[in-house]
Amino acid sequence: MNIAVKLTEWVALYPTWIYAILFAIIFAETGLVVIPFLPGDSLLFATGAIAAQGKINPALLFFLLTAAALCGDNVNYAIGHFLGARLFNRENSRLLNPKHLERTREFYAKHGGKTVIMARFVPVVRTFAPFVAGIGSMRYSQFIGNSVIGAVLWVGICLPAGYFFGNMEFVKKHFELVVVGIVLISALPVLIEMIQHKRKSSTQEEKE
């Protein structure tokens, strides 16, 4: 909740290194499956607001943070791809059963593209999506294309949103509520997809 204040302090203390710091945070949140709790949407929003004040370069931030998100995706995918078959090799395991791996592969074969894109906008989920895509042996050519789209859209929406609206008086006074709003809006595409999928399943069951 104090990300805006903390980020302002970092910009003042490390005007040159701030780009590397932001790159590292976005990369870690996306690329290291063990730390999905790092700020993503709120960090981009706050960064955009500070960029609007002329303290950091918005164009450089866009390309740098998009690259960070893509690098994180690729690392996470590689880890999942490398570990997948090794983890899911116990027939009697409830959690790491090979059948679960096969279901994951089938799911990503059918819904993989849009899953990777939509997951980018959902906190925590965006950290696990590339990892699971790697475990599910999703084709890399399909994964990287959708990863690029997701990263560009994510940074391209959250960063400008902070740039144009982050310095409004209401936003600065109620930043915590804004962060919650960003998270809820980010989750809408997944919620809509779930509702549509449930309706389709219900319709198919009625026909049968």
What confidence tens digit (pLDDT) does each residue in 57-100 have? Answer: 999 999 999 999 999 999 989 988 887 666 655 555 554 555 65
Q: What is the pLDDT of residue 155?
A: 93
Question: Angle at the Cα of 14 (from 8 to 7), degrees rounded to 5?
Answer: 20
Mean pLDDT of all residues belonging to the chain: 78
* Integer Cα distance of 68 and 30 in angstroms: 8
Q: What is the pLDDT of residue 204?
A: 64
Q: What is the pLDDT of residue 65?
A: 95
Contact residues for 21 (Cβ-Cβ < 8 A; gap 6+): 10, 14
Q: What stretches of 14-168 show up as alpha helix (H) in DSSP? A: 18-31, 41-52, 58-87, 98-119, 125-135, 140-165
* Integer Cα distance of 133 and 112 in angstroms: 7
- Residues above pLDDT 70, as percent of the chain: 65
Region 141-155: mean pLDDT is 91
Contact residues for 81 (Cβ-Cβ < 8 A; gap 6+): 134, 135, 137
Q: What is the pLDDT of residue 151?
A: 93
> What DSSP character marks residue 56?
S
Structural contact between residues 47 and 7, judged by C-beta atoms closer than 8 angstroms: yes
24 pLDDT above the threshold of 90? yes
Backbone angle region of 54, left / alpha / beta, with phi > 0 → left and psi within -120 to 50 → alpha? left
Strand, helix or coil at 134? helix
Q: What is the pLDDT of residue 95?
A: 47
Region 160-187: mean pLDDT is 71
Q: What is the pLDDT of residue 27?
A: 93
Q: What is the pLDDT of residue 125?
A: 75
Residue 154: what residue type?
A: W
**Residue whose token pair is 């959250």:** 158
